[in-house]
Structure 1
Amino acid sequence: MRDDQILSVGIDLGTSTTQLILSRLTVKNFAAAFSVPRINISKKEVIFKSDIIFTPLASQTQIDADAIKRFVAQQYDKAGIQKQDIQMGAVIITGETARKENSSAVTQALSGYAGDFVVATAGPDLESIIAGKGAGTNELARKHRQNVVNMDIGGGTSNLGLFSDEDIIDTACFDIGGRLIKIQPDSHQITYISPKVQQLVSELGLDLKVGNTVTTDQLQPVINVLTQVLENSIGLGEKSPYFDLFITNHALHPENEIVGVTFSGGVADCLNDDLPADEFRYGDIGLLLGYTVRHSSIFKHKTIYPSVETIRATVVGAGSHTTDVTGSTIAYTDGILPLRNLPILKVSKSDENLEASDLGNKISEKIDWYRVQNELNNVALALVGKHSPKFADIQRYADGIVMGAKLLIDKREPLIIMVHEDMAKALGHSLYAKLPEHYPFVCIDSVKVENGDYIDIGEPVANGEVLPVIVKTLVFG
């Protein structure tokens, strides 16, 4: 098989900004002659980075889908690309934008602009994973063999993703960002204060309100609290009385040691040693927040690593399709295939060795990462498994999975299990015995996936012995 090149697009609709990246992917067959094809991406090349615009809103509750469509068309034109040249792509909708009433309408508006979109509405936990991988934090954790956290400080939220040996082990999110207060760059007049900051302003007794002109000194008490909460979020300093106020969903578990820190998001480009003279040039408090974080205890007490990407960390280069097939030891129930665009939730190696009840708790906690607007989405649960498992290992895995996936089972979502090692048939039989009668499930092996991937599972082939699988890897800029 000759090497093929594929053009793909990624679009990130965030709380504050929208941007696009075009990537050229080289696809190669790594299998020996006369064996099952093993198609993988051999090269990823970003060929175009778009302008970054403020996410266009038709109202406070609706995204301007037409404006998004015009932006994408303009950027294709700028890149010299026809939309029919695009074979695949991904739209990632994050932060406050994911909670807008018509986020699905945006997807429909963009449907003609890529061959086959992976569409992910990312809640705060999934956004933490995506941003951390985009910043390269997972690679740093593996390389330095230590726990490294990425702090993705955007316009509305700060998403934390803690990595250990390339595995995501914890996430958190705080309502802290550069656009919580908006300010006219020329007049220095306040045009917006977020509800939580408004509460903070009242409790601190500050004279800050919409319509007032403002100085850096007047804003500094607010900035100091936001910075202290960020310090607290990774275990530094005396706990702020406002820490709990700014938690979006949950904080990091305190028992996990944090050695290194990376920064991404728009504020990561504002971590300046000196405060610029025109500190309100972006129409917000981003520069002031970045300057204060730069001089915080985070930089004094943690190892700071450079990020691969900052403001572009969450933008996805492509939804690159790598075609694969499952191993021959599979188990599945009839009538539930095909399945499309399931996000992968990969259990970390350390969690896999836990007792069944602890494994179940870890799985349950991580499944909840995929909850958006209190709606739980189905996931494909991925495990490495054991090369030569004992019967007790199979039972322990099955018990942990059934306990951990109770939220999905109660919703009667098909249970999708992927094991890297060749043990799916035995695990599938054990699951079958422990699941409710006639419960829909698929258990497959020999397919390598990572957190942040999405999969399609096709109809059975080869007399039902093999399932075709498309692994859509989100390729980060």
Structure 2
Amino acid sequence: MHDFDDNGHEHDDDTQILETEGITGEVEKNALYYADNIEMVTVGIDVGSSTSHLMFSWLHLQRLGRYLSSRYVVVERQMLYQSPILLTPYRPDYTIDIAELDTFFQAAYKESGYTPADVDSGAVILTGEAVKRRNARAIADLFASQAGKFVCASAGHNLEAIMAAHGSGAVGISQENGNTVLNVDVGGGTSKFSLIKDGQVMETAAISVGGRLVAMDENRNLVRIEPPAQEAAKSVGVVLEIDKPLSVEDEIKLADALADCLFLMIRRAPMSPLAESLLVTPNLTLDIPFDSIVYSGGVSEYIYEQEDRDFGDIAKSLARAISSRTAEYKLPAPPRLGDQRIRATVIGASQFTVQVSGNTIAITNTDLLPLRNIPVIHPILPEGEDVDPEAMNQAIQKSFQRLDLVNGDQEVALTLDWTGTPRYQLLRKLADGIALGLAPTIKAGLPVVVVFNHDFGKLIGEMLRRELNITNDIISIDGIFLKEFDYVDIGELIFPANVTPVVIKSLVFPEVASTTAQLSS
């Protein structure tokens, strides 16, 4: 048993839903309790451009009893352990030092008192410039395989932005006050934006602005220069050279250039050529004014004056430049202090990645699980409740084409957001459309994986098997919202609740890094 730290104790806003159903107070933990409640230990591992760390959390999920729903909501979260923060180690060949990282994470597991066997779910996420390292994907997969029963490897600027928005508390602030919050997560290599309205992340974006785009030794000699730093320095006439000192004056110029790009995005102003070149995702497009701004990420420790040490980078100068512009441009409200800063992403990875598909599911062969890194196919169905199987077939083929995937070449997860009435005739047409659309997948003997937002999983799965005589393995789950460009991991069944954990993520590991950093020999 592990003692829970009350400082990390948090009741989720979803408890309000349960209170409307009369579910309050302590509940005896018997067999009936575990049929509708799930308790999980999760881990979040963040390997970033600047720092790496991990966190263990405990989650309590409870099934909504109304209408015998299969939806589970998180009603309680507790932080169990957070590791020290390690400066991400790099090797001379520009790859991440996997041996040093492994030693660090093993020591953290030992100190926490947890073993991989104790961990039910979670995520390893590589963020910022760390994603570009040539061995990034291998590192993420390795740590995911060693970290616990169902820990998933992820990478992606938009995913990191969402995790940071949850972990910083910005989503909670927006939900609590019913307003719009802009979360700006300023890390070592990138800054991630999340525009949040009424507790929902509406849009995300990212730009190569960070506090560790250059690294210096104790004599201020440059030992690492990332390509975005060279680009920004060139724009203001600063020369960056490996093993040559960076003057304080030039450091300020570089920080100012990066902060200017950041504030063009915050102010929704026209982008400069430099800012355009530093974007790593499409820019924010929604014209929704924000009521408050929350900073997170390592640089925010300096913005909120929680840290004053110098780690041989430009984080302090960048924070000063951001703070001065925050005052200069008279934003709608002063920056609001969130729940977390440098640990925002790892909290998001530990506590906000997992969904649970409930008890209205159909899985013909549980030995298939877990499934990992399944691309999501999201056909755009014609409007209306009635379903034309042939029109649905065409929509499925188009969705394969949009993602440059060949139907039948690999496992895919077909997600359908059909919201019609679950009458037999309509569901049967839906099943017919699935069978037509996935005919090459079925012919190839691949599993048929279907994911619904509403509680149709079991009904459709049984129709595919019993009425359409599809002999392939079938995984038909529900209560999960997916969209195009997602990837999904589906875990092993959890008994006695008869549910499966699902992690939704993005995977954008480059096969080969393009422009690489300059490193001191």
Fold match (TM-score > 0.5): yes
1:454-469 correspondence runs (5 A): 456=490, 469=500
Using the TM superposition, give the Cα deviation of residue 40 of structure 1 relative to its aligned residue in structure 2, in angstroms: 5.2
Distance 1:46 1:339 in 2: 28
Distance 2:414 2:490 in 1: 11
Using the TM superposition, give the Cα deviation of residue 222 of structure 1 relative to its aligned residue in structure 2, in angstroms: 1.7
1:137-156 correspondence runs (5 A): 137-156=170-189
Distance 2:371 2:62 in 1: 23
Given candidates 255, 261, 265, the residue that maps to 1:229 is 261
Q: Which residue of 1 aligns with 2:78?
A: 45
Using the TM superposition, give the Cα deviation of residue 208 of structure 1 relative to its aligned residue in structure 2, in angstroms: 4.2
Q: Which residue of 1 aligns with 2:165?
A: 132
Change (3 A) 1:86 1:393: same
Q: What SS is found at the alignment partner of 2:243?
A: coil
1:373-384 correspondence runs (5 A): 378-379=375-376
Residues 338, 456 of structure 1: 8 Å contact kept:
no
Stretch of structure 1 that moved more, 139-148 or 129-138: 139-148
Whichever residue aligns with residue 155 of structure 2, its letter is A
Q: Which residue of 2 aligns with 1:283?
A: 312
For the pair 1:311 / 2:342, whether they are aligned, the reply is yes
Using the TM superposition, give the Cα deviation of residue 296 of structure 1 relative to its aligned residue in structure 2, in angstroms: 0.7
Q: Any gaps of 5 or more consecutive residues in structure 1?
A: 344-376, 460-466
Distance 1:37 1:200 in 2: 51
Using the TM superposition, give the Cα deviation of residue 2 of structure 1 relative to its aligned residue in structure 2, in angstroms: 4.0
Residues 39, 323 of structure 1: 8 Å contact kept:
yes
Whichever residue aligns with residue 378 of structure 1, its letter is P
Given candidates 405, 413, 416, the residue that maps to 2:414 is 416
Residues 393, 437 of structure 2: 8 Å contact kept:
no
Using the TM superposition, give the Cα deviation of residue 175 of structure 1 relative to its aligned residue in structure 2, in angstroms: 0.9
Using the TM superposition, give the Cα deviation of residue 312 of structure 1 relative to its aligned residue in structure 2, in angstroms: 0.9
Show CA shifts across 1:154-185 (max 9, x none): 1111111222333333221111100112122x
Task: Give the % identical residues.
Answer: 22
Q: Which residue of 1 aligns with 2:131?
A: 98
Whichever residue aligns with residue 265 of structure 1, its letter is G
Residues 275, 288 of structure 1: 8 Å contact kept:
no
For the pair 1:292 / 2:300, whether they are aligned, the reply is no
For the pair 1:428 / 2:423, whether they are aligned, the reply is no
Q: TM-score, normalised by structure 2?
A: 0.67
Using the TM superposition, give the Cα deviation of residue 46 of structure 1 relative to its aligned residue in structure 2, in angstroms: 0.3
Whichever residue aligns with residue 337 of structure 2, its letter is P
Using the TM superposition, give the Cα deviation of residue 42 of structure 1 relative to its aligned residue in structure 2, in angstroms: 3.5
Residues 145, 151 of structure 2: 8 Å contact kept:
no
Change (3 A) 1:390 1:204: same
Q: Which residue of 1 aligns with 2:9?
A: none
Using the TM superposition, give the Cα deviation of residue 153 of structure 1 relative to its aligned residue in structure 2, in angstroms: 1.0
Using the TM superposition, give the Cα deviation of residue 23 of structure 1 relative to its aligned residue in structure 2, in angstroms: 1.5
Q: Which residue of 1 aligns with 2:59?
A: 25
The structure with more strand, counted as a fraction of residues: 1
For the pair 1:252 / 2:284, whether they are aligned, the reply is yes
Q: What SS is found at the alignment partner of 2:159?
A: helix
1:267-278 correspondence runs (5 A): 267-272=299-304
Distance 2:72 2:228 in 1: 49
Using the TM superposition, give the Cα deviation of residue 50 of structure 1 relative to its aligned residue in structure 2, in angstroms: 0.5
Whichever residue aligns with residue 307 of structure 1, its letter is G
Q: Which residue of 1 aligns with 2:226?
A: 194
Output the aligned Cα RMSD. 4.3
Distance 1:398 1:262 in 2: 45
Q: Which residue of 2 aligns with 1:204?
A: 236
For the pair 1:157 / 2:190, whether they are aligned, the reply is yes
Whichever residue aligns with residue 219 of structure 1, its letter is E
Q: What SS is found at the alignment partner of 1:391?
A: coil
Using the TM superposition, give the Cα deviation of residue 307 of structure 1 relative to its aligned residue in structure 2, in angstroms: 2.0
For the pair 1:391 / 2:391, whether they are aligned, the reply is no
Q: TM-score, normalised by structure 1?
A: 0.73
